[in-house]
Structure 1
Amino acid sequence: MISERIKYRRSHITRRIILQYFIAMAAFIAVLTAGVLICRRVCASRIWYEHDIVYERLKFIEDNIITISCVIIIIGGTVITNIFIIRLLKYIDEIVAAAKRLTSPDEQEISLRSTLFEIEQELNLSREKALRNGELAKEAEKRKNDLIMYLAHDLKTPLTSVVGYLTLLRDEPKLSPKLKAKYTGIALDKALRLEELINEFFEITRFNLTNITLELKRINLSRMLEQICDEFTPVLAQKGLVWKTEIPKDIWLLCDPDKLERVFDNLIRNGIIYSCENTPIELKLQRNEGVITIAVENRGTNIPREKLDRVFEQFYRLDSSRNSETGGSGLGLAIAKEIVKLHKGEIFAESEGERIRFTVRLFDGRLG
């Protein structure tokens, strides 16, 4: 669709052509008037004889000068008008033809005559925007298809296990109580995993489709992070990981504590999943004037830059196989990003060698 600026440019060119038209008409009338005056002066400068054929014609012109002038003006004006109308129509046709190429996939830029240079620029800008929007639409369609595929994959895996173990319990009534308890426990774990996935799907959909309201409170962020670290200590121990924290005392922040806790929970879980065994997980809290920075760093496999830029995308997993044993649904970091955005903050990832760092930057006072 042609932008308002292009419409303005087109009307500007129309006004310019109309101005040129009136200038041409004025020049034509001026030349005609000058011609009449020159002819009269020439005629008055010599003696004419009554039977001179030139005199007869000049006399006829002089007697009918007004009528002849009007006829010449009408004819000349008609010719000039037609020339300018045809030129304007050609401009419009050229612009319309160029506008049809706005969504053309070819890389050749729109080119118009020099008098339409301004419109040419605007059309090329609109074309680039239309092509970008087209790419975004394709990406949105791809994300929708990926959503369906990931939902099917991530939900099917635990559901298949639940059905399998329950079927085994039904078909094998003579199983020992120990095996029954074992299979029941496995089925329950898979069912809980299924519930967790469904809750994550609902949560990311809620962030995307509804306006989430923050329940703001002024909290001691230092104490919150210390409590979260204590809660994760047993989980770290299972993988031989240890905490290395730098948490200054009594750093306060206005935020939604429940949602912000979810952010740190996701970052720490992500660090645990992708950490090498027997390495530290570092958590640092800093405050510089009104800027509060929280960094979670772990040691693991380097993340390539092209993947680093995508880790906050919905359903994106570093392992393309989407193995449920090595990661979640790919929604944790996407949810964390949405929560940080609600707090008008920033979140980003860095990877240098074996060090993988996720940084949250919050601005105390932006929400107050």
Structure 2
Amino acid sequence: MPEWKIALLSTVGLLSLLVIVGLLTLPHYRLTQVAKYLRATLEDPERELKVPRTLRGVGSELSAVRARLLLQQSELKREAQRQQELIAFLAHDLKTPLTSVLGYLELLWDEPGLTEEQRVKYTGIALNKARRLEELVGEFFDINTMELALTKRESVQLSFLLEQLADEFYPLFASRSLTCQPEVEPDLVVEGDGDRLARVFDNVLRNAVSYSAPGGPVLLSARREGKSAVVTIANDGLEIPEKELTNIFQKFYRLDAARSTRTGGAGLGLAIAKEIVELHGGDIRAESTGERTAFVITLPLQAGK
């Protein structure tokens, strides 16, 4: 549950408790003063009111009400700011591929003298840009609709899942002349949503491919450590400064400050991965030393496995 909702529920609960206590212990004229103070606080929580001497017995409770209202107000402002940023980033990230799609379609429509080879080329580019648009819209949808609960819990053969993903990524690795030799311990089983977990490793692998130096290795390893499975995905490329290692899991964060479309994403892949991992009671972190960057994902193993 969002913090601002928790704050609101706490405030309502405290107000109810205060009223009950007041009805039992305060004379009528003091209850009137309490009601007046609470009304003024609700209308303008930022205005600090001096508690009358006659209300000193409940002064701390009244101050707590004001503090919770201020917290609620701050969270509401933060949520509104987040929604504004979402709209701004959505417009920015969709504009470039959409402009390309429209440009090439207009070219195909307006230039009847294009050769068949040119038509095939421009149609292919427009199709790729349209697919990128679909991916971006999907990322925005996922980050805004993801429930803070797992609706599906099943045994997930993590070892098999990782081996399968490595095979599926072979064409993408080959396109960048990358090599990947999985080192996966067998029989690693976790509990949760297999589709969502596949999304985690898919996102992190795509990130590794995007930022790998051409021709380099991509490491994919998984091992058992106590009651947890530890998956490491690493690649060689530019070092990530230490101060940036936690930022890369924030929504819309991109290492390239200009937010270029080189990687084709909206800066949501790692944020989505973090959400899913934490839903499964796990942890994800990034490490970067020299030219090697690694993402380490820890998930609790299924009991008895």
Give the match for residue 302 of structure 1.
240
Q: Is 1:170 the counterpart of 2:106 in the alignment?
A: no
Maintained 8 Å contact 2:189/2:302: no
Give the match for residue 253 of structure 2.
316
Give the match for residue 284 of structure 2.
348
Give the match for residue 74 of structure 2.
135
**Superposition deviation, residue 182 in structure 1:** 1.4
| Structure 1: gaps spanning 5 or more residues | 19-84
**Superposition deviation, residue 16 in structure 1:** 6.5
**Superposition deviation, residue 262 in structure 1:** 1.3
Maintained 8 Å contact 1:347/1:358: no
Q: What's the CA shift string for 1:38-91, capped at 9, x where partnerless?
A: xxxxxxxxxxxxxxxxxxxxxxxxxxxxxxxxxxxxxxxxxxxxxxx8xx64x8
Corresponding residue pairs, total? 292
**Superposition deviation, residue 328 in structure 1:** 0.2
**1:256 alignment partner, one of 190, 193, 214:** 193
Q: Scaled by the length of structure 1, what TM-score is found? A: 0.65
Give the match for residue 239 of structure 1.
176
Q: Of the two structures, which has the highest relative contact order with CA contacts closer than 8 Å and spacing of 6 or more?
A: 2
CA–CA separation in structure 2 for the residues paired with 1:278 and 1:324: 22
**2:207 alignment partner, one of 270, 290, 296:** 270
| Structure 2: gaps spanning 5 or more residues | 1-7
Maintained 8 Å contact 2:155/2:302: no
Give the match for residue 160 of structure 2.
223
CA–CA separation in structure 1 for the residues paired with 2:264 and 2:283: 20
CA–CA separation in structure 2 for the residues paired with 1:189 and 1:5: 56
For the aligned residue pairs, the C-alpha RMSD in angstroms reads: 3.6
Q: Scaled by the length of structure 2, what TM-score is found? A: 0.77
**2:132 alignment partner, one of 188, 193, 218:** 193
**Superposition deviation, residue 161 in structure 1:** 1.0
Give the match for residue 151 of structure 1.
90
Maintained 8 Å contact 2:188/2:301: no
**Superposition deviation, residue 94 in structure 1:** 6.9
Give the number of the structure whose alpha-carbon radius of gyration is greater. Answer: 1
State the SS of the aligned residue for 1:321: coil
CA–CA separation in structure 2 for the residues paired with 1:290 and 1:179: 57
Maintained 8 Å contact 2:150/2:192: no
State the SS of the aligned residue for 1:317: coil
Q: Is 1:125 the counterpart of 2:61 in the alignment?
A: no
Maintained 8 Å contact 1:316/1:331: yes
CA–CA separation in structure 1 for the residues paired with 2:58 and 2:177: 66
State the SS of the aligned residue for 1:100: helix
Aligned partner of 1:253: which letter? V
**Superposition deviation, residue 279 in structure 1:** 4.3
CA–CA separation in structure 2 for the residues paired with 1:256 and 1:6: 40
> CA 1:175 to 1:249, structure 2 compared with 1: closer, same or farther past 3 Å?
same
Counting aligned pairs with the same residue, the percent is 37
Maintained 8 Å contact 1:281/1:298: yes
Q: What's the CA shift string for 1:102-149, capped at 9, x where partnerless?
A: 65447xx77647885663333333333322222221221122222222
